[in-house]
Amino acid sequence: MSRPLLIAGGRLIDPANGVDAPRDLLLRDGRIAGVEAPGGFASVEVVETIDATGCAVAPGLVDIHVHLREPGQTYKETIATGTAAAAAGGFTSVVAMPNTLPVNDSVATLAWMLAPARGAKVRVFAMPAATVGSLGKELTDFAALAQAGALGFTDDGKPVLDAGLLRQALLWAGRLGLPISQHAEDPRLSHGAIMNAGPVAFRLGLRGYPAEAEVSIVRRDIALVREIAATEGVRTRLHVQHVSAAGTVEAVRAAKAEGLHVTCEAAPHHFTLTDDAVGGGQFGAIAFNTDAKMNPPLRREADRLAVIAGLLDGTIDCIATDHAPHARHEKEVEFERAPNGITGLETALGLGLRVLHREHGASLSQVMKLMSAGPAEVVSLGRAGSLGAGNWGDVVVFDAGAEWRFEATGSKSKSKNTPFDGESMLGRVKATVVAGKIVYREG
């Protein structure tokens, strides 16, 4: 029995339990031991106290879409550095995507990634590949991978394009109670494209990637979920990754209204920026900004507002960063040669609070839900995302009113590829606690 940690004097925000009030929180043996009115634990002998006066205390954040680059690309990031960035950003659980080298498509690679020897600072989970080598030809061994801890299956970076194969994937994963997480992109519509199709692409002379490349695959996938339920009687789970287009939000909203088990996520960059960030407009001075290149691409203002509306009305289940570190030399090249992706673990909370809470009126509790209980539910992490007694002792303490500027040079990530260097953020992480232990403390 370890002695307890007390987090006292804060405003407890626990959307899963409907709490938003001054409360003290006690953690013991790595779990949530209890919640009391201020001073309620005065008689308990504690090993350490975090003074949360003036701060919010919430369930540790959960990010179901990160690229930790290990094994194989440790010059970009390692599991240790990526999770250090996660801890600094208030995250206590992350789900690693399988596009590593080798691709995480086997029990051996999965077990290697989850091993304590990787030195993770927060909880690491993984979604292995849906198809062998993520080549879209044959499915991986879902049952064995599920047994080894897989939270779902995805070929993230590419879609499972073959409809017959995806149908089989949905069915088999559905029988195991796991989601298929789909990178929604029809490469036949986006082939050779490197930014959103529209006036900015036209002005810069870059090939455009139409939103329909995303929307059409989402519609097809939803049709398969409906068909499998009708034909096979299996309630399959489709999760749509990084929603960027208004049409996708609409399609998922309709699928939910129909009662299908379809969930989706949105990345902070898609609710903060538009394709103007690629060249001129909002970020005037920089044209061909490779730190604004990602897949799916930044889209138009109407898409950005549709993503925000989807986050506010519950159509979009959660915020996921798609943290995608790349080395400086890889991004400092011509726009078309630069790899897709930006880092995101240390800017997600600051942007979520700035854009959704301050600019669009979401309550703190709503934003916290999108970053904790919401994502935990998508991947069925029943002990995360809530401060109920017995749950994991994973907590973030942050000053919700603090305005600050993010400096990429101070990032814990190995890579600094972010369009948010120097950008203003709202809400600063003071401490992050995993399993009752402090893994990050400001300063």
Q: Give how many residues touch Zn ion by CB under 5 A.
A: 2
Cα 159 from Cα 173, distance rounded (Å): 16
Please provide residue 42's backbone torsions phi and psi, each rounded to the nearest 5 degrees. -55, -30
Closer to Zn ion at the Cβ: 365 or 413? 413
Binding part of the chain for Zn ion, among 109-117, 223-231, 297-305, 318-326 by CB under 5 A, reads: 318-326
Q: Give me the least distance between CB of 295 and Zn ion, in Å please.
A: 8
Residue 369 falls in which region: left (phi positive, over 0), alpha (psi -120 to 50) or beta: alpha
Q: For the chain, what is the radius of gyration of the CA atoms?
A: 21
Whether 322 is catalytic is: yes
Closer to Zn ion at the Cβ: 17 or 340? 340
Binding part of the chain for Zn ion, among 34-42, 130-138, 155-163, 408-416 by CB under 5 A, reads: 155-163
Residue 52's closest CA among 397, 404, 432, 401?
397
Q: Which amino acid is at 51?
A: D
Q: Give me the least distance between CB of 241 and Zn ion, in Å please.
A: 7
**Residue 156 lies near Zn ion (rule: CB under 5 A):** yes
Cα 151 from Cα 118, distance rounded (Å): 19
Closer to Zn ion at the Cβ: 181 or 272? 181
Q: Give me the least distance between CB of 97 and Zn ion, in Å please.
A: 5
CB 161 within 8 A of CB 136: yes
Among 24, 317, 322, 399, the active-site one is: 322
Closer to Zn ion at the Cβ: 11 or 183? 183
Q: 91-96 and 208-209: which strand pairing?
A: unpaired
Binding part of the chain for Zn ion, among 82-90, 120-128, 321-329, 376-384 by CB under 5 A, reads: 321-329
Burial class (CB in 10 A: 0-12, 13-18, 19+), 267: buried
**Residue 105 lies near Zn ion (rule: CB under 5 A):** no
Q: Give me the least distance between CB of 352 and Zn ion, in Å please.
A: 18
**Residue 322 lies near Zn ion (rule: CB under 5 A):** yes
Tell me how long the chain is. 443
SS3 83: helix
Write the interaction track for Zn ion spanning residues 185-214; mark x where CB under 5 A is met and - where it is not. Answer: ------------------------------
Residues between 364 and 403 that touch Zn ion (CB under 5 A): none
Q: Give me the least distance between CB of 245 and Zn ion, in Å please.
A: 16
Q: What is the dihedral of CA 149, 128, 314, 431, to 10 degrees?
A: 70
Full strand arrangement of the beta sheet holding 123-126: 61-66, 91-96, 123-126
Which residues sit at the interface with Zn ion, rule CB under 5 A? 156, 322
Catalytic residues, by residue number, are 322
